[in-house]
């Protein structure tokens, strides 16, 4: 009876041992399978992908510019002398021919008086020679004088006439110099410089020696500011936007809330090799004379662009000896290198016209160890790693640009 009771206990113990051994075998096999799967998974390189995105429908660049007057003329003295008086100061509005200053030149005055006296003397001599010739000609019919004497009288008359002509030219020469004593405005405009004071000496080279010891060349500067010229240096990458229909939004430091519209005038058909920029000229209407020459300007250029152009991060590029490529992840998660045709290289991004589509997965910052056909595992990049994954914001509305002041 006792042996019969012990037999089930042995069976149960054996069964428990079998279950325990089986459980341990299962756990170890499961851990081994998990370790093998993890090892195989870690052996496949991970990549972060991005997609090509269309560029904004318009391109806007902001550049510094310089504003110049439509015409600006430095006015120099043509004769030496002392400044007798000046009549127009800084900022004076002048008309063409207005007197700006007068120069005193006593020596020139004396020479001019002498030239006029010489002319009077030569005219008197000519009149005498003419009277003598007429008398000799009157005596020819009576044969009272020889032909030789008449020829001499005719030659003398022509000689005196030539001397009169020379004296007249000399007077006209001094008269032209006398006009230089008066400095006049060459056109309608504004006086932007006055470098003279009463008593300043102007030497024969036109330089001014003032009491302060400074030496300058031009007496005045007059600017025509009814329209202004705007000069900017456009990077060569944006040279294709320079067209006659192009306009620019311009602001200047002295009018922070006012916008001016500049119209494209011309561009240098060449690129400066030192700066890789194109000198470009615009015009700005300045009827109210708000803009001044020499002003610094902030210029915004906005133009439509080709919507077929796509952009990717510059970090996605793979530079090969023959061309530029990107690493694309295929549907079966393998690497395939494709060539792209770059159109523009910008700060952090590049633009291209052909090579990959918007739907293809492009490896961002590919490893140099990646080869054609390699198996990869796509992972989601950490926030901030791939800024191109963010939605492209809609362009902000441009501020209205006009030459009118904003309403108060």
At the second CATH level, the architecture of 77-103+182-218 is: Beta Barrel (2.40)
Long-range contacts of 404-408 (CB under 8 A, 24+ apart): 405/258, 406/257, 406/258
Q: How confident is the model at residue 383, as a pLDDT?
A: 64
CB 201 within 8 A of CB 208: yes
Determine phi and psi for 240, rounding to 5 degrees: -70, -15
Q: Which CATH class is domain 61-68+224-304?
A: mainly beta
196 pLDDT higher than 70: yes
Cα 286 from Cα 23, distance rounded (Å) = 93
Cα 248 from Cα 63, distance rounded (Å) = 10
* CATH code for residues 46-56+308-389: 2.40.420.20
Longest dimension (CA), the chain: 202
Cα 226 from Cα 79, distance rounded (Å) = 31
Q: Is 348 left (phi over 0), alpha (psi -120 to 50) or beta?
A: left
pTM of the entire predicted model: 0.63
Measured at the alpha carbon of residue 324, what is the angle toward residues 321 and 325, in degrees to the nearest 5? 115
Cα 192 from Cα 91, distance rounded (Å) = 6
Q: What is the mean pLDDT of residues 372-397?
A: 63
Q: What is the mean pLDDT of residues 44-62?
A: 88
Q: Do the two domains 46-56+308-389 and 61-68+224-304 of this chain adopt the same fold? A: no
Residue-wise pLDDT tens digits, 159-194: 888 999 999 999 999 899 899 999 999 999 999 999
**Residue 131's pLDDT band (cuts 50, 70, 90):** confident
Count of Cβ atoms closer than 10 Å to residue 250 Cβ: 26
Q: What is the mean pLDDT of residues 262-282?
A: 94
Is domain 106-179 classified as CATH 1.10.287.470? yes
**Residue 402's pLDDT band (cuts 50, 70, 90):** very low
Contacts of 153 (CB under 8 A, 6+ apart): 129, 132, 133, 136, 137
Measured at the alpha carbon of residue 213, what is the angle toward residues 209 and 214, in degrees to the nearest 5? 70
Count of Cβ atoms closer than 10 Å to residue 240 Cβ: 12
Q: What is the mean pLDDT of residues 140-145?
A: 71
Domain residue spans of the chain = 46-56+308-389, 61-68+224-304, 77-103+182-218, 106-179
- Pick from 329, 325, 317, 331: nearest CA to 376: 329
Per DSSP, the three-state class of 313 is strand
Q: How confident is the model at residue 216, as a pLDDT?
A: 75
Residue-wise pLDDT tens digits, 326-349: 999 999 999 999 999 998 888 889
**Tokens representing residue 37 in the block:** 């799967």
Q: What share of the chain is helix, strand, coil (3-state, %, to 5)?
A: 30, 35, 35
Q: How confident is the model at residue 36, as a pLDDT?
A: 60
285 pLDDT higher than 70: yes
- List, in sequence order, every residue forming a beta bridge with 49; answer none if it has no partner: 363
Q: What is the mean pLDDT of residues 359-383?
A: 87
């Amino acid at each position: 009876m006792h042996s019969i009771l012990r037999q089930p206990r042995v069976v149960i113990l054996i069964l428990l041992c079998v279950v325990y051994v089986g459980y341990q075998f299962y756990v170890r096999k499961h851990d081994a399978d998990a370790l093998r799967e993890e090892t195989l998974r870690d052996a496949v390189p991970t990549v972060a992908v991005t997609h090509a995105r269309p560029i904004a429908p318009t391109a806007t660049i902001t550049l510094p510019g310089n504003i110049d007057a439509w015409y600006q003329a430095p006015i120099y003295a043509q004769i030496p002398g002392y400044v007798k008086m000046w009549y127009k100061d800084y900022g004076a509005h002048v008309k063409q021919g207005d007197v700006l200053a007068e120069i005193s030149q006593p020596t020139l005055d004396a020479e001019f008086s002498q030239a006029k006296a010489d002319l009077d003397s030569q005219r008197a001599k000519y009149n005498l020679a003419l009277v003598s010739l007429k008398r000799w000609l009157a005596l020819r019919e009576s044969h009272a004088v020889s032909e030789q004497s008449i020829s001499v009288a005719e030659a003398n008359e022509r000689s005196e006439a030539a001397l009169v002509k020379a004296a007249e030219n000399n007077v006209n020469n001094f008269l032209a110099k006398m006009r230089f004593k008066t400095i006049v405005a060459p056109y309608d405009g504004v006086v932007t410089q006055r470098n003279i004071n009463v008593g300043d000496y102007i030497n024969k080279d036109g330089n001014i020696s003032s009491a302060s010891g400074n030496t300058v060349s031009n007496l005045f500067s007059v600017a025509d500011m009814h329209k202004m010229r705007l000069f900017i240096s456009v990077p060569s990458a944006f040279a294709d936007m320079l067209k006659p229909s192009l306009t620019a939004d311009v602001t200047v430091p002295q009018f922070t809330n006012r916008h001016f519209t500049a119209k494209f005038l011309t561009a240098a058909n060449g690129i400066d090799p030192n700066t890789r920029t194109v000198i470009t000229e615009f015009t700005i209407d300045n009827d109210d004379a708000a803009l001044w020459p020499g002003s610094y300007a902030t210029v915004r250029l906005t133009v439509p662009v080709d919507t077929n152009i796509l952009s990717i991060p510059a970090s996605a590029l793979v530079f090969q000896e023959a061309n530029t490529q990107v690493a694309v992840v295929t549907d079966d998660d393998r690497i395939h290198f494709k060539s792209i045709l770059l159109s523009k290289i910008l700060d952090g991004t590049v633009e291209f016209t052909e090579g990959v589509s918007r739907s293809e997965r492009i490896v961002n910052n590919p490893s140099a160890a990646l080869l054609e056909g390699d198996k990869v595992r796509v992972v989601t990049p950490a926030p901030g790693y791939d800024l191109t994954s963010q939605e492209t914001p809609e362009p902000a509305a441009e501020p209205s640009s006009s030459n009118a002041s904003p309403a108060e």
